[in-house]
Amino acid sequence: METAIKSIEAVKSGKKSVSQITKDFLKKIKEEDSKINSFLEVFEESALKKAEEIDAKISSGKTPGELAGAVFAIKDNMLYEGKEITCASKILKGHISSYNSTAVSKLLEKDAVIIGRTNMDEFAMGSSCENSAYLKTANPIDTQFVPGGSSGGSAAAVKAGFCHIAYGSDTGGSIRQPASFCGIWGMKPTYGRVSRYGLVAFASSLDQIGPMANSWEDLLLGYKAVKGYDEKDSTSIKDITEKGEFNSVKGLKIAVIKNLEKLEGLESDLAETSSNLLSKISSMGAKIIEVDFKSFKYALPAYYILASSEASSNLARFDGFRYGLSLEAPNLTKAYMKNRGEGFGSEVKRRILLGTHSLSSGYYDAYYLKAQKVRNFIRKELEEVFSQADLILTPSSPSAAFKFGEKINDPLSMYLSDIFTIPVNLAGICALSFPFGTRKKDNMPYGFQLMASHMKDEFLIKTAGEISCAL
């Protein structure tokens, strides 16, 4: 399949029309998505209309936006005015976005075509897409396997060739883990780099929109298309200057975490692939250094306290009155109970309960506050590592994709899927997952994560690109 960059060039040089590119994708979706189920809704009509508008602009001699020719999918938690948005939850069924998220605005302004909204774990809580209230998305490489999650629909859509670039949201690994399971690229930008305005919040201090693509070049394009300060998001970064300039892999210092291979649950093939990757990188002239990451093991519990606490508050507005599901009940309390009882799935309820408890009077200090201290500690420890190294390399997830039903009844084992990605969100830094190697028995892909410090997003993508080209 052609990359977004190639398609944009083809449109520029007049070899292809945006309508043709869009139609090709729509055709492929029609033929193949019934097996994959990556889309909750395909925006056939509006995508074609937008494509025709762009083509008309071009034929009238005007210069189209810089994304003319690129086709995007968005996760079902990014608002697109006039379209339904559900976060794959029953509680939002039928809710129509009344405004555009900043990310969607930026895409449309630059003449991107948005082809549909993708499936996800309900409210971005999960690692397999099995928590969607609507669809089970399959891994396009082998449909017995999950695509990962929560941005599993976006990962599958990219892998299956239903769009050039898809956006996901990443709170603890929701872009990088499915990217790794589907053998594609996925990136979580530095916190505050992409506006969260119009992204339905899961955990506000951790959420970040990011691109997923088949190549590092498209990943960079997808990142640049949506990055930047937004006055509507008070947590977005005002400073717009990227840090670090990429020259060569040679001479870079890449840190690996000591004793990580001994981690319980880490697949043996993955450990082997990992050391294979390290030797290749070091042969490119990069220096591999081993570092301690003492607080690593506390990241997962701290994350589940903090993310669930914020989620319990963020999801409280879904009460059955103003949007989506609205069931009648004899009184106010019963209306809350009925709508929330029937509207939310079990994983969402589990996290609301966990978060509500962590914030309750008498428990706040022991849970929320302690987790916040862990978060600060992790931030500092990672800062220290970045004072000695340019990047940190880990696997993206302890295993390659698992099969449907394998972990859905064991939340803790599901949560472990994000053990490597979570510290990145807690520290607010940037990281990406790129594909390398496979599990021998079934050829399912492995993904590796590279982390960089704040605002080094472009440096990160370019370095990873250079590495992957040399592999």
- Antiparallel, parallel or unpaired: β 71-75 and 165-169: parallel
Closest contact distance (angstroms) between CB of 192 and other proteins is 9
- Does residue 282 have an active-site annotation? no
Q: How far is CA 307 from CA 133, 358, 436, in A?
A: 21, 11, 30
Q: State how far the Cα of 266 lies from the Cα of 427, in Å rounded to an integer.
A: 23
Q: How far is CA 22 from CA 33, 56, 68, 149, in A?
A: 15, 15, 11, 26
Among candidate residues 6, 16, 75, 456, the one labeled active-site is: 75
Q: State how far the Cα of 29 lies from the Cα of 42, in Å rounded to an integer.
A: 8
Q: State how far the Cα of 266 lies from the Cα of 288, in Å rounded to an integer.
A: 21
CB 132 within 8 A of CB 122: yes
- Contacting positions for other proteins (CB under 8 A): 77-79, 85, 87, 92, 95, 97-99, 101, 196-201, 203-205, 231-235, 309-310, 312-313, 316-319, 321-323, 332, 336, 356, 359-361, 364, 368
Residue at 11: amino acid letter: V
In the complex with other proteins, the residue whose CB is nearer, 322 or 441, is: 322
Among candidate residues 150, 151, 180, 215, the one labeled active-site is: 150
Residue at 264: amino acid letter: E
DSSP state of 194: B
Among candidate residues 174, 236, 312, 433, the one labeled active-site is: 174
- Does residue 236 have an active-site annotation? no
- Does residue 150 have an active-site annotation? yes
In the complex with other proteins, the residue whose CB is nearer, 53 or 319, is: 319
- Separation of CA 182 from chain center: 13
In the complex with other proteins, the residue whose CB is nearer, 323 or 344, is: 323
Closest contact distance (angstroms) between CB of 151 and other proteins is 16
Bridge partners (DSSP) of residue 118 are 39, 75
Q: Closest Cα partner for 470 from 290, 285, 287?
A: 285
In the complex with other proteins, the residue whose CB is nearer, 16 or 375, is: 375
Bridge partners (DSSP) of residue 211 are 167
Q: In 3-state terms, what secondary structure has residue 199?
A: strand
Closest contact distance (angstroms) between CB of 49 and other proteins is 24
Closest contact distance (angstroms) between CB of 313 and other proteins is 5
Q: State how far the Cα of 377 lies from the Cα of 372, in Å rounded to an integer.
A: 9
In the complex with other proteins, the residue whose CB is nearer, 38 or 97, is: 97
Element (DSSP H or E) covering residue 386: helix 370-388
CB 97 within 8 A of CB 82: yes
In the complex with other proteins, the residue whose CB is nearer, 121 or 310, is: 310
In the complex with other proteins, the residue whose CB is nearer, 5 or 335, is: 335
Bridge partners (DSSP) of residue 255 are 289, 392
- Separation of CA 210 from chain center: 6
Kindly list the catalytic residues: 75, 150, 174
